[in-house]
Copies of this chain bind each other. A is one copy, B any other.
Amino acid sequence: MEEEDSRQLAETNAGNSMFAGGEEERDPESNSLRQPLLKRNRTLSSNPLAIIGAKVSHIESLDYEYYAGFAYFAGINLLLTAFASVLCVCFAPTAAGPGIPEIKAYLNGIDTPNMFGATTLIVKIFGSIGAVAAGLDLGKEGPLVHIGSCIASLLGQGGPDNYRLKWRWLRYFNNDRDRRDIITCGASSGVCAAFRSPVGGVLFALEEVATWWRSALLWRTFFSTAVVVVILRGFIEICNSGKCGLFGRGGLIMFDVSDVVVTYHLMDVIPITLIGIIGGLLGSLYNHVLHKVLIVYNLINQKGRIHKLLLSLSVSLFTSVCLFGLPFLAKCQPCDPSLSEPCPTNSRSGNFKQFTCPDGHYNDLATLLFTTNDDAVRNIFSSNTPREFQPVSLLIFFALYCILGLITFGIAVPSGLFLPIILMGSAYGRLLGLAMGSHTKIDQGLYAVLGAASLMAGSMRMTVSLCVIFLELTNNLLLLPITMIVLLIAKTVGDSFNPSIYEIILELKGLPFLDAHPEPWMRNLTVGELVDAKSPVVTLCGVEKVSRIVDVLKNTTHNAFPVVDEGVVPPVGQASGATELHGLILRAHLVQVLKKKWFLPEKRRTEEWEVREKFDWVELAEREGTIEEVFVSRDEMEMYVDLHPLTNTTPYTVMESMSVAKALVLFRQVGLRHLLVVPKYEAAGVPPVVGVLTRQDLRPYNILTAFPHLAKKNREKGH
């Protein structure tokens, strides 16, 4: 919403300067010359460049007018892009891009630093306003999802970390599971706000974002999207007067195509299948090329801030050149007098833009290019207007947005993928509809909808959520069966070439995402073998010397250590020299112990009353500080720490004979960070814990690096 408002603001500013300029040129002498110019001025008034017409009207050359118009247009766009890009580059690099892959990774158990902070939130909001207003080929949907998650995360932890603003009562949610839930709710609210699609938001969170799903989460996300939709509805009510710019247009349904009566019969199976197949092919091709582009961009971006900024600005300039120049290529079309819509239109969001055409004519490419991305979608979805767009114009539009979609996504501004893909897809869908001509009974507007859906499925590989989002966007329930088929075909075709775009981005970012399915070769490897290939496990005693703890923390990077008691007497069996696996202790807790100096002068266990008195659980929950910040004196080094009260005594364990595949299922299903491997032998002298497995140990890539013969076998099978 904010983006659209700002876009309007930018245009209003431009409008003001037009009127300011208008004062100067009240020159009666040039009246005769100004007549045609004023007319053109009127016809172009929907765009900033049109305004220039009036300003420079005392100059006779038309060419100069266009150049000045372009300078104005490109200049404003460059400024807005620079604003967005500087914000992202200097203050919050994590705010660039859509943010959805990082949210997905967070919910899988991978925390990207500074992803959900207050700075990121602010930069994301204003950066997204700038980027969308700059007319770049990107959407506000991804950023809105990220914004929703940021707000959720900040609420969940009681306020921003770095600004020292915290509501203590909100700390109640400050645990891993509740934070995960609340961020899922935030993500679904973001989708709901972006598409005004409450059920679609819930399903998007379920299908694409979340890793663990509980039935309670279903109605919680549902509740949050219900709140979003009620507030949206309230704003739409308030904005009925038209004061809120583009917000409120379309009511709750953004791209309404419910006025089309959907008629189809058996023969339409062919074009529907075709849309699905082409959508799948184009989607996977898009993923493939975007992957390559992103690799190149990464190289450029790594060179420094200036390079990042320059890249954004050149993309913005290229976009401006194309948007400004291409409509001149299109021929003017005569208006169809049978249509009830006004034609030509010069208002901001009309369906038939006059541009440079004479009265009674319109420029169809200008209709698509000189408008916000949202309106472009609305125009291309427009139904019952079979002759509105020429094939050549649609082809130019499609080609342009293919190129823009590929080069815009990786620049350092907040950007979403949804809208670029919808724009591409709708153009190709409508083209296909045109090509079918009289062989089909389905309206061309619906072809555009189906094209958009198929390209989305071909690139993002979602099914149910896309289906519901498109249903809620277009409000045409009778289209549902066709949409379902198109989505399924496109997804299937796409899946046979490459993974979804989000998975590609996750891999590019190097995030250790854990997939739901273990690889088949993992069944032939035991966790025992996996642990043997690692460095030996470091265990601590139940009552441990301070010097050893400091030593272990300094010399290892593990985040958790098994705690083993030696020489205990088990209730059953022979009494001598049993060892007991007491549990797992976290590095963060050990650091806290050293910081708070909870030391004992002698080697003994703490009594229960001591534990209750001594330990402050709120302090313990703070996972800040590193071993380097801790100072321990020489005397203290000789003292002891009783680790028992701080140990998690119920860690999940697997036997060493367990297959990696099943261990991975456990690891992911239960949502673990550390998995203890215990021996299958029971005898004196056998260590009670064989090793600890972490997420990194279970990643296919890392296993294959440690066991090259498996990689070889795997490759052989693949061929």
- Interface, chain A (partner B; CB < 8 A): 198-199, 202-203, 206-207, 213-216, 218-219, 222-223, 225-226, 229-230, 233-234, 237, 251-253, 265-266, 463-464, 467-468, 471-472, 475, 477-478, 480-481, 484-485, 488, 491, 516-517, 526, 568, 570, 572-574, 576-583, 649-655, 657-659, 662, 665-666, 669-670, 678-688
Q: Given the complex of chains A and B, what is the CA–CA distance between A581 and B658 in angstroms?
A: 12
Q: Return chain B residues, CB-CB under 8 Å to A222.
A: 463-464, 467, 484, 488
19 contacts between A and B (CB under 8 A): A198-B484, A207-B215, A207-B218, A214-B516, A218-B464, A223-B488, A237-B266, A251-B478, A471-B477, A570-B686, A572-B679, A572-B687, A581-B682, A582-B680, A650-B655, A651-B655, A653-B653, A682-B684, A683-B683
Are B471 and A199 neighbours in the complex by a CB distance under 8 Å?
yes
Are B468 and A573 neighbours in the complex by a CB distance under 8 Å?
no
Q: Given the complex of chains A and B, what is the CA–CA distance between A650 and B654 in angstroms?
A: 9
Q: Given the complex of chains A and B, what is the CA–CA distance between A225 and B203 in angstroms?
A: 16
Are A685 and B573 neighbours in the complex by a CB distance under 8 Å?
yes
Shortest beta-carbon distance from A187 to chain B in Å: 16
Q: Given the complex of chains A and B, what is the CA–CA distance between A71 and B266 in angstroms?
A: 48
Q: Given the complex of chains A and B, what is the CA–CA distance between A574 and B218 in angstroms?
A: 53
Q: Given the complex of chains A and B, what is the CA–CA distance between A234 and B669 in angstroms?
A: 41
Q: Return chain B residues, CB-CB under 8 Å to A213.
A: 213
Q: Return chain B residues, CB-CB under 8 Å to A686.
A: 570, 572-573, 578, 682
Q: Return chain B residues, CB-CB under 8 Å to A463.
A: 218-219, 222
Are A229 and B481 neighbours in the complex by a CB distance under 8 Å?
yes
Q: Given the complex of chains A and B, what is the CA–CA distance between A683 and B579 in angstroms?
A: 7
Q: Given the complex of chains A and B, what is the CA–CA distance between A718 and B502 in angstroms?
A: 47
Tell me whether A485 and B226 are in contact in the complex, defined as CB-CB below 8 angstroms, given that A655-B678, A683-B570, A684-B683 are known contacts: yes
**Which residue of chain B has the shortest Cβ distance to A213 in the bound complex?**
B213
Q: Given the complex of chains A and B, what is the CA–CA distance between A675 and B568 in angstroms?
A: 26
Are B658 and A229 neighbours in the complex by a CB distance under 8 Å?
no
Q: Return chain B residues, CB-CB under 8 Å to A678.
A: 653, 655, 678
Q: Return chain B residues, CB-CB under 8 Å to A573.
A: 681, 683-687
Q: Given the complex of chains A and B, what is the CA–CA distance between A688 and B229 in angstroms?
A: 57
Q: Given the complex of chains A and B, what is the CA–CA distance between A577 and B684 in angstroms?
A: 9
Q: Return chain B residues, CB-CB under 8 Å to A669.
A: 669-670
Are A654 and B655 neighbours in the complex by a CB distance under 8 Å?
no
Shortest beta-carbon distance from A515 to chain B in Å: 10
Are B199 and A576 neighbours in the complex by a CB distance under 8 Å?
no
Are A233 and B682 neighbours in the complex by a CB distance under 8 Å?
no
Are A681 and B481 neighbours in the complex by a CB distance under 8 Å?
no
Q: Given the complex of chains A and B, what is the CA–CA distance between A652 and B233 in angstroms?
A: 50
Are B579 and A485 neighbours in the complex by a CB distance under 8 Å?
no
Tell me whether A666 and B657 are in contact in the complex, defined as CB-CB below 8 angstroms, given that A478-B252, A485-B230, A683-B576 are known contacts: no
Q: Return chain B residues, CB-CB under 8 Å to A683.
A: 570, 573-574, 576-579, 682-684
Quick one: which of A265, A471, A480 has the most chain B CB within 10 A?
A480
Q: Of the candidates B199, B481, B572, B574, which one forms a contact with A226 in the assembled complex, judged by CB atoms under 8 Å apart? A: B481
Are B484 and A684 neighbours in the complex by a CB distance under 8 Å?
no
Are A253 and B650 neighbours in the complex by a CB distance under 8 Å?
no
Tell me whether A657 and B649 are in contact in the complex, defined as CB-CB below 8 angstroms, given that A199-B471, A481-B198, A578-B682 are known contacts: yes
Are A230 and B481 neighbours in the complex by a CB distance under 8 Å?
yes
User: Which 5 residue pairs of A and B lie closest in terms of their CB atoms, listed nearest first?
Assistant: A578-B683, A573-B685, A570-B681, A682-B688, A573-B686
Are A199 and B464 neighbours in the complex by a CB distance under 8 Å?
yes
Q: Return chain B residues, CB-CB under 8 Å to A214.
A: 516
Q: Return chain B residues, CB-CB under 8 Å to A665.
A: 670
Q: Given the complex of chains A and B, what is the CA–CA distance between A548 and B130 in angstroms?
A: 79
Tell me whether A472 and B477 are in contact in the complex, defined as CB-CB below 8 angstroms, given that A215-B516, A222-B488 are known contacts: yes
Shortest beta-carbon distance from A255 to chain B in Å: 12
Q: Apart from A222-B467, A226-B484, A252-B481, list 4 A-B contacts with CB within 8 A.
A: A207-B215, A580-B680, A652-B658, A665-B670
Q: Given the complex of chains A and B, what is the CA–CA distance between A157 and B422 in angstroms?
A: 42
Quick one: which of A234, A652, A682 has the most chain B CB within 10 A?
A682
Q: Of the candidates B649, B670, B684, which one forms a contact with A684 in the assembled complex, judged by CB atoms under 8 Å apart? A: B684
Quick one: which of A576, A580, A666 has the most chain B CB within 10 A?
A580
Q: Of the candidates B218, B237, B477, B658, which one forms a contact with A650 in the assembled complex, judged by CB atoms under 8 Å apart? A: B658
**Which residue of chain B has the shortest Cβ distance to A655 in the bound complex?**
B653
Q: Given the complex of chains A and B, what is the CA–CA distance between A688 and B570 in angstroms?
A: 13
Q: Given the complex of chains A and B, what is the CA–CA distance between A578 and B526 in angstroms?
A: 21
Are B219 and A491 neighbours in the complex by a CB distance under 8 Å?
yes
Q: Given the complex of chains A and B, what is the CA–CA distance between A198 and B485 in angstroms?
A: 12
Q: Return chain B residues, CB-CB under 8 Å to A574.
A: 683-685
Are A568 and B207 neighbours in the complex by a CB distance under 8 Å?
no
Q: Given the complex of chains A and B, what is the CA–CA distance between A207 and B218 in angstroms?
A: 8
Are A464 and B252 neighbours in the complex by a CB distance under 8 Å?
no
Shortest beta-carbon distance from A573 to chain B in Å: 3
Are A682 and B468 neighbours in the complex by a CB distance under 8 Å?
no
Q: Given the complex of chains A and B, what is the CA–CA distance between A501 and B477 in angstroms?
A: 30
Q: Return chain B residues, CB-CB under 8 Å to A581.
A: 655, 680, 682
Shortest beta-carbon distance from A139 to chain B in Å: 22
Q: Return chain B residues, CB-CB under 8 Å to A233.
A: 481
**Which residue of chain B has the shortest Cβ distance to A527 in the bound complex?**
B650
Q: Return chain B residues, CB-CB under 8 Å to A251.
A: 478
**Which residue of chain B has the shortest Cβ distance to A666 in the bound complex?**
B670
Q: Of the candidates B265, B491, B684, B688, which one forms a contact with A680 in the assembled complex, judged by CB atoms under 8 Å apart? A: B688
Quick one: which of A265, A266, A577, A652 has the most chain B CB within 10 A?
A652
Tell me whether A219 and B516 are in contact in the complex, defined as CB-CB below 8 angstroms, given that A485-B226, A683-B579 are known contacts: no
Q: Of the candidates B265, B472, B580, which one forms a contact with A681 in the assembled complex, judged by CB atoms under 8 Å apart? A: B580
